[in-house]
Amino acid sequence: MKKRALALVTHPDDAEFLCAGTMALLGKAGWELHMATMTAGDCGSKELSREEISAIRREEASDAAKLIDARYQCLEFDDMFICYDRLSILRVLAYLRKIRPHIVLTMSPDCYMVDHEITSTLVRTACFASGMTNMKTQGFESFEPTPYLYYLDPIEGKDKFGNVIEPTTIVDISSVMDVKSDMLACHASQREWLQRHHGMDQYLIAMKEQGEMTGAKAGMKYAEGFRQHLGHAYPQDNLLLQVLQQTAQAV
């Protein structure tokens, strides 16, 4: 049976910025791919209503996922209201148990945006609780072992104080940069908004710049960086590195 990788991020386009290349490489390695966002990006427009922009962005995220043969789902949280509470933990846990991933990629616990940080904490708790049979999630059974959990680099590689966050695993995505760019370009509503405001294709430029910055840490053209969660009860070996040994590097 195929191994499963899940990129569970906050907004449509977060994964395309920060981990789509690694997902593409896992797909090439024969893994089943799942991509999910906590919200549909309902505050990502000044002109359209929440319902209108959400419908567009769900479609864009789904189109992007299809380019690497990944399945997409939105967990239907609202922008700016991702909370660490009982119902939110159970919603994320139920989705995790539905997918039963071996590797989970999620937002950095240190980032410029609270929704990103709370997503990270919810996913961390859901992974930890994946095998707890007394935590009931209707329709979805507990599973073991605990998934391998990796945090994406924060946007611009820094935390909210401006401190540089150093990745511990760097994946060379130079060979899949084209598909990563195509995936990000699927998010036309965001790309066009930035184009109007910056007068250039800032969306794709910023993504490539972050890829170059991470790549420079390991002598690669374009790379994505990750930190593995190595707390108690989580797997201690580096599965991402083992699977992508041709293209990944521990730092």
Shortest distance (Å) from residue 111 CB to Zn ion: 8
| Three-class SS state of 94 | helix
10 versus 22: smaller Cβ distance to Zn ion? 10
59 versus 221: smaller Cβ distance to Zn ion? 59
Instruction: Quote the DSSP letter at residue 32.
Output: E
Q: How far apart are CA 129 and CA 97, in angstroms?
A: 10
12 versus 215: smaller Cβ distance to Zn ion? 12
10 binds Zn ion (CB under 5 A): yes
Q: How far apart are CA 112 and CA 115, in angstroms?
A: 9
* Count of residues that bind Zn ion according to CB under 5 A: 3
10 versus 137: smaller Cβ distance to Zn ion? 10
Q: How far apart are CA 56 and CA 78, in angstroms?
A: 15
Q: How far apart are CA 232 and CA 146, in angstroms?
A: 11
183 versus 220: smaller Cβ distance to Zn ion? 183
Q: Compute φ and ψ for 170, nearest 5 degrees.
A: -120, 130
- Residues numbered 90 to 129 that lie near Zn ion (CB under 5 A) are none
Shortest distance (Å) from residue 68 CB to Zn ion: 19
Q: Which residue has the tokens 């999910």?
A: 36
CA count, 13 A, side-chain hemisphere, 186: 26
What is the widest separation between alpha-carbon atoms in the chain?
Answer: 54
202's enclosing H/E stretch is helix 202-216
Shortest distance (Å) from residue 191 CB to Zn ion: 15
Among 170, 180, 148, residue whose Cα is nearest residue 245: 170
- Residue 145: asked if its preceding bond is cis (omega within 30°), the reply is yes
14 versus 153: smaller Cβ distance to Zn ion? 14
Binding letters toward Zn ion, positions 11-50, x by CB under 5 A = x--x------------------------------------
| Residue ranges with strand state E in the chain | 4-9, 32-39, 71-77, 103-106, 148-152, 169-172, 223-228, 248-250
Candidate segments 8-16, 92-100, 121-129, 138-146, binder of Zn ion by CB under 5 A? 8-16
Candidate segments 10-18, 192-200, 208-216, 223-231, binder of Zn ion by CB under 5 A? 10-18
Candidate segments 6-14, 91-99, 196-204, 216-224, binder of Zn ion by CB under 5 A? 6-14
Candidate segments 3-11, 42-50, 146-154, 239-247, binder of Zn ion by CB under 5 A? 3-11
Candidate segments 5-13, 52-60, 223-231, 243-251, binder of Zn ion by CB under 5 A? 5-13
Q: Which residue's C-beta sits nearest to Zn ion?
A: 11
Residues that bind Zn ion (CB under 5 A): 10-11, 14
